[in-house]
Amino acid sequence: MSRFVSPASLDEALEAQSQAGAQALAGGTDLMVTLRKARLSGGQMPKLLVDLSRLLELQRLNLEGGAPYLGAGLTFRFLESNPLVTERLPLLARAAASVGSVQVRSTATLGGNVANASPAADGLTALVCLDAVAEIASPRGARHCPLAELITAPYQTTLDLDEIILGFALSPPPDPAGQAFLKVGRRGEVAVARLNLAVALDRDMADPRVVLGSCFPTPRRLADVEGLLKGAAPEPALWQKAGELAASHFTDVCGWRSSADYKVPAITRCTAQALSRAWSGLEAAS
Partner 1 sequence: MSVGHSMPHSGVYARVRGETRFGWDQQGYGDLHLACVRAELAPAHIKSIDPAPALALPGVVRVFTAADVPGEHNLGIIAVSRDQEFLARDTVRQRGQAVALVAAETRAQALAGARAVRVELDKLPGVFTPAEALASGAPLVHPDHADGNLLRENKIKRGEVDAALAASAVTVEAVYSTSPLEHAALEPEGGRAWWQGGKLVVQACTQNPHYDQADLARFLNVPQEKIRVIQAETGGGFGGKLDLSVQPFLALAAWHLVRSVCMRFTREESFLATAKRHPLRMHYISGADEQGRLTALKARILGDTGAFASYGLAVCMRAAVHATGPYHVPNLDVACRMAYTNNGFYGAMRGFGCPQVALAHEGQMDALAAKLGLDPLEMRKINALQAGMRTCTGQKLTAGVGLMQCLERIEPIYRAWREEAPAQDGLSGVGLGAMFYGIGNTGVSNPSTAQMEWGPDNTVTLFTGAADIGQGSDTVLKQIAAGRLGIEAEQIKLCRGDTARTTNAGATSASRQTYISGNAALAAADNLVMNLVEGAREMLGERHLEIELREGMLRASDGRAVEPGEVARHMADQGGAARGEGAFDPNFSPLDPETGQGRPYAAYAYAAQCAKVAVDPASGMTRVKEVAAAHDVGRAINPRAVLGQICGGVVMGVGMALMEEHRPGREGNLQQYHIPTAADAPAITPLIVEDPEPTGPFGAKGVGEPALIPTAPAVAAAVSQAVGKPLRHLPLSLERVMEALSSRGESHED
Q: Which of residues 25-44 bind partner 1 (CB under 8 A)?
A: 33, 40-42
Q: Does 66 bind partner 1 (CB under 8 A)?
A: no
Query: Measuring CA to CA, which residue among 112, 97, 138 is closest to residue 24?
Result: 112
Q: Does 257 bind partner 1 (CB under 8 A)?
A: no
Q: Mark 97-115 as b/e (b = at least 16 C-beta within 10 Å).
A: bbbbeeebbebbbbbbbbb
Distance, in Å, from the CA atom of 229 to the CA atom of 277, rounded to the nearest integer, reads 15
The H-or-E segment that residue 182 falls in is: strand 177-184
- Please report how close the Cβ of residue 151 comes to partner 1 at its closest, in angstroms: 22
Specify whether the CB–CB gap between 197 and 271 falls below 8 A.
yes
- Please report how close the Cβ of residue 189 comes to partner 1 at its closest, in angstroms: 4
Specify whether the CB–CB gap between 13 and 7 falls below 8 A.
yes
Rg (CA), the chain: 19
- Please report how close the Cβ of residue 184 comes to partner 1 at its closest, in angstroms: 4
Pick from 87, 160, 189, 283: which binds partner 1 (CB under 8 A)?
A: 189
Pick from 64, 65, 66, 186: which binds partner 1 (CB under 8 A)?
A: 186
Which stretch in 55-63, 69-77, 149-157, 182-190 sits in contact with partner 1 by CB under 8 A? 182-190
162 to 136, 139, 140, 169: CA distances (angstroms): 10, 8, 9, 21
Size of the site for partner 1 (CB under 8 A): 25
Which stretch in 54-62, 74-82, 88-96, 189-197 sits in contact with partner 1 by CB under 8 A? 189-197
Q: Which of residues 258-277 bind partner 1 (CB under 8 A)?
A: 261-262, 265-266, 269-270, 272-273
Q: How far apart are the first and last CA of the chain?
A: 58
Q: Does 185 bind partner 1 (CB under 8 A)?
A: yes
Q: Report the interface residues with partner 1, using CB under 8 A.
A: 33, 40-42, 101, 182, 184-192, 194-195, 261-262, 265-266, 269-270, 272-273
